[in-house]
Copies of this chain bind each other. A is one copy, B any other.
Amino acid sequence: MRINTVFEALSHPVRRQILTLLKTGPMSAGELAGHFDLTKPTLSVHFNKLRDAELVAVERRGTSLIYHLNMSILEEALSGLLGKKDQTP
């Protein structure tokens, strides 16, 4: 887990809202994009950053890409910061 990548991913409001949306269940890229006033390519970049951080996982179903939330990375990163372990990057 690259702690730096995780917190960098969490720093953008759109990306945090994507995670919030995914808390209700998996969702396709297009469906997620529909919640924002941004173009699909822009959202695609955000998806990539979340995927790099392993905060989400992707699965293809037909022509759609379904994004799943990966809660555990979130918890790992946060407990790392709160806990005793040194988190120097």
Which residues does A use to contact B, with CB under 8 Å? 3-4, 7-8, 10-11, 13, 16-17, 19-20, 23, 71, 74-75, 78, 81-82, 84, 86-89
Contact = CB atoms under 8 A, between A and B. Distances in A.
A87 B7 CA distance: 16
A8 B89 CA distance: 17
A3 to B, nearest CB: 8
A76 to B, nearest CB: 12
B7 A16 contact: yes
Contacts of A71: 82
B10 A11 contact: yes
Contacts of A84: 23
